[in-house]
A and B are shown apart, each in its own frame.
Chain A
Amino acid sequence: MEFLKRFAKRLGFTLLTILAMSVLIFFLVEIMPGDVAQTVLGQSATEESVAALRDRMGLDDPLHERYLRWAGGFIRGDLGESLYMRGVQINTIFWRKVGHSVVLALTALLFYVPLSILFGVFAGVKEGKAPDAIISFVGLATMALPEFVSGIILITVFAVGLEILPIASIIPIGENLWQNLDILVLPALSITFVMFGYVSRMQRSSMVSVMKADYIRAAILKGMPRKYVIFRHALKNALLPTITIIGMNMGWLFGGLIVVETLFGFPGLGSLTMSAIKTRDIPLIEACVLFITFIFVFATFTTDMLYAFLNPRIRYKRGDA
């Protein structure tokens, strides 16, 4: 009951956030300097052609009508038409790229979540000893490298040096991602480089504090073996802050990999956003940014719910069982 109430409340807030963000994105694009049609057509365009485009884009309609038309299109699943690639429906390219990004994000999650939690736990139970120092150092070092530096290092080692992985994540024309799974490895590794230090440090510090808790002492002095105490008693409590951190970065992972995707030329949402900005393809920019916002908000919502679900103190309030 408590859980459902919490769910409904958070979902309401989530939807409200998306609404507010859509208004913000729409008007930000609106108040950009210069006439949109002029921008699209360039300085050399004639006044007639600009007027014709304005008319076609409906730029002369009142603001609220244009917003409703735009937002309504999104709800119906119509993202509009690209300006740069004349006559191409955004829908036809957008979702494929989003799909690629999701696969990349999941691959990266698969790489770094178990890795950093495992090493974080290990460092945490060996607090102050050599393994702790080594893991902390590696985490800090990889965290300090920006992804374009670590990416280049990875390319140099695996693609140029060992020649076991492709340099760029390009899908040859006529093939799809599933036939080219090896292109996922380097971008995912480079994301792992960024996230490992972050998540493992979080896991380490929560593990350290949980291992000092009275209930861990109680479990050890009940005669439980050490491994059992760590994995059955400590881990479940120590995971909660880590889940928050992973969840908070989910938005970035699914929608904000602009640098990584650009570096490897990975055909995902990040590089699409990048090229939309470069070509001033306003409807495409709006679609990308709104979608990324949506992912951020939704990832936060999911994390929140997961946290509540894993934490019995939130799941059941005192008294009801």
Chain B
Amino acid sequence: MKTEPVLEIKELDVAYHTLTDTVVALKGVSLSVAKNEALGIIGESGCGKSTLFYAIMDYLPVSSSRSGEILFKGEDLVVKTPKQMTKFRGSKIAMVYQNPYSSLNPSLTIGFQLEEVSMFHHGMSRKEARQAAVETLSDLHLGDAAGIVRRYPHQISGGMQQRICIAMALLCKPDLMILDEPTTALDVTTEAVILDIIKELKDKYNMSLIYISHDIGVVNKVSDRIAVMYRGEVVEFGNQNTIYKKPEHPYTRALINCMPRAGVLKENTQLNTIPGYVSRRSAAETGCPFVARCEKRNATCEEKYGMVERKPDHFSACDRAYATDIPDKVLSKEAGSIPEGAEPEHKTILKIDNLYKYYGPHGKRIRALDGVDLTLDRNNVLGVVGESGCGKSTMGHTISGLMRPTRGKIIFDGTNISVSWRKRSPETLRDIQLIFQNPGRSLNPSFTIENIIGRPMLKLLGIKSKQKRRKLIVDILKKVDLGEEYLFRRPKQLSGGEMQRAAVARAFSIAPNLLVCDEPTSALDASVQASVLNLLVDLQKDSGAAYIFISHDLNVINYLSDYIMVMYLGRICEYGKKTEVGGSPRHPYTEALLSAVPDVDPSLKRGEIRLHGAPPNPTKKIKGCPFAGRCHRKVGSVCDTTPPPRVNFSDTHFAYCHISPEVLNSEISVKGIKK
């Protein structure tokens, strides 16, 4: 190594002690970060990513122990006293957290929270500190820096809050910045802007970065070298391209195959699933941490295990990722496993006509849905995508009857159901089911799984016999890969993935014809998400139900849907078949959205459209195109004054835009998915 590493971790062990036993959180972690290098760390929840940065910052709970060496510019942080650590924290090593809103103190002004950093570490007066804060803020392209420092955190948008947090970390020009999922809570277009800023500032301040995330795509954008962690160990360490193209550890390989990514569609590939779950690690355990869930395990897993440089600059703890004695799982589907030629019945099941939904009192009303039309056929999956506040969830909730539309019609199977659920017929209630984002909060914690799944059967199918219901419940549980033993468990006893599968089972227990899925996998880890997505695909194929799949994640939408609808501020931007919207997006917003999507495959370089600013205030009545204020291809004042016309590109593909159809058609965007 040419330069002295800024941070070098050697054989770091961290364990948490409870009264009865010891849980290993980190085991033998060795990593180094060179000057101005960005190191990415990926892993699922429970793999020790957060413990790692807590260990570096000496912020572990009292009931824990730490051993090994953490050399920061040659000084061992493990032996520092808490008082000595305050000299490093915030000044030499700075942090940026996942949730900017909760990381800022709600009752102190932004200025105050920025100033105190310089006042403590550099002994500045409040006036000098304010000056420094304003200067740093302008580095982050925050327009009115002097105004922002007087505000409270809740008064600015999420993207701005995260920039404030980054500014706070930058104030003392740290040598090392640790970013813990800094963009996970943000919208994808905001994420892209923040990632750009991080990259830019890294070089400007000549900092080293450790970027922690569960999302390989995001890590790819910032860092060159990636460490993969699993159950407290670094299992693989290397360049982003080699990690993606030829992962050397079975876990990395399995994880990448779990992720919906470019070129992977439900028609051609099944997502990989990893059986079992991330279990706690006891002190007695030796050998490979992944062995229990690994499909390539054999007798050598115990003794042959250990970090070895397999290729130049590529370390892995296992050499069995491509072992041929155990064949790979077949993930590609044969053509025709989903009958594409023999188009299934083209029966329209849902028709929405000019749907409006307003919230709030007159004058301050929020236009959550501002005139949405759509039709959905049986057997089809409509993916609805858009950033937070675009009305996608509101649409799902009005369709499922959780709330009544302000205006407009929802026709389901020939009946007008634009009323609240109380006025819907039992058949309609049964036919439309809903799956929520967070199963932990949408399943009643005091009910058993049998009660949760059985209740709609009793109420909506009128199955009075408990025996009969139980038989049906066991059948449906088997379909979602949960055994009979789950009947009497309660949601708290289930893992996140199991809970969501139970929620899917509840929705399917009464054979609905339309399923509204509101971000059903957003709270889940990649491997768990894969199993839920596979399940949804299989159940759809079997039942012929139609799905409305709402998500902010374009990779997931692209994998699962047949049609894609892009929404912005309560209106439709673009609608079409998956190949049309995903392959050749026409609307500038879709273009920008696609270009912002983080790719799992680092060799895919998408366009560089960055949206600045935030969506306009939803309480203001918008005369023209809602996207006009942020559009990079704005035509002129017509965009602000006149609603955009509908432009048809094919029978199924249209967009609402002022750009002339010829231009939209000819400049077929290069920003789409290209291989």
- B is bound to A: yes
Residues of A at the B interface (CB closer than 8 Å) are 213-215, 217-225, 228, 232-233, 236-237, 310-313, 316, 318-321
Q: For residues 98 through 131 of chain B, which have their beta carbon under 8 Å from a beta carbon of chain A?
A: 99, 102-108, 116-117, 120-121
Q: How far is the CB of B97 from chain A (nearest CB, A)?
A: 6
Partner of B89, one of A214, A220, A312, A319: A220
Cross-chain contact A312 with B88 (CB below 8 angstroms): no
Number of interface residues of B (CB under 8 A): 32
Q: Within 8 Å CB of B168, what residues of A?
A: 218, 222
Cross-chain contact A215 with B105 (CB below 8 angstroms): yes
Give the CA-CA distance A312 to B617 in the complex, in Å: 21
Give the CA-CA distance A28 to B582 in the complex, in Å: 74
Interface segment out of the listed B147-155, B190-198, B345-353, B597-605: B147-155
Given contacts A223-B89, A223-B120, A225-B86, whether A218 and B108 have CB atoms under 8 Å apart is no
Q: How far is the CB of B564 from chain A (nearest CB, A)?
A: 31
Q: Within 8 Å CB of B154, what residues of A?
A: 312-313, 316, 318
B90 located at the interface, meaning its Cβ lies under 8 Å from any Cβ of chain A in the complex: yes
Q: Within 8 Å CB of A228, what residues of B?
A: 116, 120
Q: Within 8 Å CB of B97, what residues of A?
A: 214, 217-218
Partner of B95, one of A221, A232, A237: A221
Give the CA-CA distance A321 to B154 in the complex, in Å: 11
Cross-chain contact B102 with A213 (CB below 8 angstroms): yes
Give the CA-CA distance A316 to B120 in the complex, in Å: 29
Cross-chain contact A222 with B152 (CB below 8 angstroms): no
Since A224-B116, A225-B120, A318-B155 are in contact, a sample of 17 more A-B pairs with Cβ atoms closer than 8 Å, ordered by chain A residue number, is: A213-B102, A215-B102, A217-B59, A217-B97, A218-B97, A220-B59, A221-B89, A222-B94, A222-B120, A223-B91, A233-B105, A233-B108, A237-B105, A311-B107, A319-B617, A321-B152, A321-B155
Partner of A237, one of B57, B107, B151: B107
Cross-chain contact B102 with A222 (CB below 8 angstroms): no
Q: For residues 51 through 76 of chain B, which have their beta carbon under 8 Å from a beta carbon of chain A?
A: 57, 59
Cross-chain contact A221 with B155 (CB below 8 angstroms): no
Which chain A residue has the least Cβ–Cβ distance from B154?
Answer: A313
Q: Which 4 A-B pairs rank lowest in CB-CB distance, beginning with the nearest?
A: A223-B90, A222-B90, A223-B89, A214-B102
Residues of B at the A interface (CB closer than 8 Å) are 57, 59, 86-91, 94-95, 97, 99, 102-108, 116-117, 120-121, 147, 150-152, 154-155, 165, 168, 617
Give the CA-CA distance A239 to B382 in the complex, in Å: 49
Give the CA-CA distance A320 to B88 in the complex, in Å: 37
Which chain B residue has the least Cβ–Cβ distance from A235?
Answer: B107
Q: How far is the CB of A185 from chain B (nearest CB, A)?
A: 36
Cross-chain contact B155 with A219 (CB below 8 angstroms): no
Cross-chain contact B90 with A224 (CB below 8 angstroms): yes
Cross-chain contact B152 with A221 (CB below 8 angstroms): no
Q: Within 8 Å CB of A312, what residues of B?
A: 106-107, 152, 154
Give the CA-CA distance A212 to B524 in the complex, in Å: 24
Give the CA-CA distance A311 to B108 in the complex, in Å: 10
Give the CA-CA distance A202 to B87 in the complex, in Å: 34
Which chain B residue has the least Cβ–Cβ distance from A239?
Answer: B107
8 A-B pairs within 8 Å (CB atoms) are namely A215-B105, A221-B89, A225-B120, A232-B116, A236-B108, A312-B154, A316-B152, A319-B155
Q: How far is the CB of B126 from chain A (nearest CB, A)?
A: 13
Give the CA-CA distance A313 to B88 in the complex, in Å: 32
Which chain B residue has the least Cβ–Cβ distance from A238?
Answer: B107
Pick from A218, A223, A316 the residue with the most CB of B within 10 Å. Answer: A223
Partner of B99, one of A214, A219, A318: A214
Give the CA-CA distance A67 to B165 in the complex, in Å: 62
Give the CA-CA distance A192 to B617 in the complex, in Å: 50
Give the CA-CA distance A319 to B91 in the complex, in Å: 32
Cross-chain contact A221 with B105 (CB below 8 angstroms): no
